[in-house]
């Protein structure tokens, strides 16, 4: 495993991290989910990402159970706030931030998280109120650092110039060979501000593993066939032109001597501003395969070819 510094923090995060978005909020059996967490830790993954809204607390509760007995200083834990936890609990107001951090810590069975992230930007709350509340959370020791996910560039810049508040150290955007767009403006501006990326869905929700065929129905137990997880998978990524292009990229990956999943993860990690790529796994062997991407070198020419293949179908 390799590790990279997270923005302006003193956190060194594993370049492959474990996420819990759909898999551990009900999409995977508890025993399988806990096995994935333990496998990841065994392989050197030290960064685990979740959110309060994943299963409305289910993912945090599962991680709280899975991490019992594991020395707290041996891993880094991140969660998020913003999504609706009830009909009246949502957003980034001071009241919500303080209510939700305490609820998250209780479910995670820990006194603090290493990274507390704003899951989206809250248009209904003044930015100053959000940043001051997050700063108090840090001062109280409930979070070591703060970050955001999918914030627009102008709001990132506005937060950066506020006086007397904690600074963001991380950004969490969707980023993959099928969704490369943040690299155009978000990555370079964040680099200027001392913020690095923790990218989600680097395998395009499993499409970039090559498991889906343009000429056959999705395989059993895949995300596309799951009632709980399949609804979030963009339908266009399962259309024949996209899947045919993905199979071409799979052949490029094989030429490079790696699996398509490893190739896609290595592509994301080629960016210096990317500190970690979040994987979702339903079986321990998936974790093991993906972790290999932390330690492989692939010539840029292979990446250029893959980008040319996928550009027309993005």
Give the pLDDT mean for 221-232.
60
**Sign of the dihedral through C-alpha 206, 209, 214, 215:** negative
Range of the domain at 134: 3-204+260-296
Of residues 3 and 22, more confidently modeled: 3
Measured at the alpha carbon of residue 90, what is the angle toward residues 88 and 96, in degrees to the nearest 5? 95
Residue 234 lies in a domain: no
Look up 54 and say whether it is catalytic: yes
234 backbone dihedrals φ, ψ, rounded to 5°:
-55, 125
% the chain with pLDDT above 70: 95
Instruction: Indicate whether 86 pLDDT > 60.
Output: yes
Give the pLDDT mean for 103-128.
98
pLDDT at 221: 60
**Sign of the dihedral through C-alpha 133, 134, 135, 136:** positive
pLDDT at 153: 98
Residue 301 lies in a domain: no
Residue 264 lies in a domain: yes
Model confidence at 101, in pLDDT bands (50, 70, 90)?
very high
Residue 217 lies in a domain: no
Residue 90 lies in a domain: yes
Tally of domains within the chain: 1
Instruction: Indicate whether 196 pLDDT > 60.
Output: yes
Q: Is 83 helix (H, G, I), strand (E, B) or coil?
A: coil
pLDDT at 214: 84
Residue 134 lies in a domain: yes
Beta bridge partner(s), residue 200 = 174
% the chain with pLDDT above 90: 88
**What CATH code is carried by the domain that includes residue 166?**
3.20.20.100
For 144-186, the pLDDT digits (tens) are: 999 999 999 999 999 999 999 999 999 999 999 999 999 999 9
**Sign of the dihedral through C-alpha 142, 144, 146, 149:** negative
pLDDT at 227: 62
Q: Please give the mean pLDDT across all residues of the chain.
A: 94
Q: Is 297 helix (H, G, I), strand (E, B) or coil?
A: coil
Residue 310 lies in a domain: no
Cβ atoms of 72 and 107 closer than 8 Å: no
Determine which one of 54, 121, 145, 212 is catalytic: 54
For 5-30, the pLDDT digits (tens) are: 999 999 999 999 999 998 888 888 99
Residue 187 lies in a domain: yes
pLDDT at 28: 86
Please state, in angstroms and as integers, the Cα–Cα distance from residue 12 to each residue in 66, 74, 75, following that order: 22, 11, 10
Q: Which residues of 121-155 are buried (b: 16+ CB within 10 A; e: fewer)?
A: bbeebebeebbbbbbbbbeeebbbbbbbbbbeeeb
Please state, in angstroms and as integers, the Cα–Cα distance from residue 168 to each residue in 67, 273, 277, following that order: 26, 14, 18
C-alpha atoms less than 13 angstroms from C-alpha of 222 in its C-beta half-sphere: 17
Instruction: Indicate whether 230 pLDDT > 60.
Output: no
Burial class (CB in 10 A: 0-12, 13-18, 19+), 285: exposed
């Amino acid at each position: 495993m390799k590790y990279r510094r997270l923005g302006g923090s003193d956190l060194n995060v594993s370049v492959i991290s474990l996420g819990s978005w759909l898999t551990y909020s009900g999409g995977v059996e508890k025993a399988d989910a806990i096995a994935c967490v333990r496998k990841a830790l065994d392989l050197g993954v030290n960064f685990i990402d979740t959110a309060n809204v994943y299963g409305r607390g289910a993912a945090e509760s599962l991680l709280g159970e899975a991490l019992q007995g594991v020395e707290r200083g041996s891993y880094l834990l991140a969660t998020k706030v913003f999504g609706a936890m009830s009909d009246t609990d949502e957003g980034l107001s001071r009241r919500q931030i303080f209510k939700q951090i305490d609820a998250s810590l209780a479910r995670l069975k820990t006194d603090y998280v290493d990274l507390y992230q704003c899951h989206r930007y809250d248009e209904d709350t003044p930015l100053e109120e959000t940043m001051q509340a997050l700063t108090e959370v840090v001062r109280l020791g409930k979070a070591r650092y703060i970050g955001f996910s999918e914030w627009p560039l102008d709001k990132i810049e506005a937060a950066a110039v506020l006086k007397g508040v904690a600074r963001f150290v991380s950004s969490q955007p969707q980023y993959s060979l099928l969704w490369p767009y943040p690299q155009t403006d978000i990555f370079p501006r964040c680099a200027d501000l001392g913020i690095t990326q923790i990218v989600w869905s680097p395998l395009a929700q499993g499409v970039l593993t090559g498991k889906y065929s343009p000429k056959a129905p999705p395989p059993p137990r895949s995300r596309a066939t799951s009632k709980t997880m399949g609804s979030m998978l963009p339908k266009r990524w399962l259309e024949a032109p996209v899947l045919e292009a993905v199979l071409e990229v799979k052949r490029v990956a094989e030429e490079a001597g790696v699996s398509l999943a490893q190739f896609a993860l290595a592509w994301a990690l080629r960016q210096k501003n990317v500190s970690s790529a979040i994987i979702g796994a339903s079986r321990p062997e998936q974790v093991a395969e993906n972790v290999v991407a932390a330690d492989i070198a692939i010539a840029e020419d292979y990446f250029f070819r893959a980008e040319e293949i996928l550009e027309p179908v993005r």
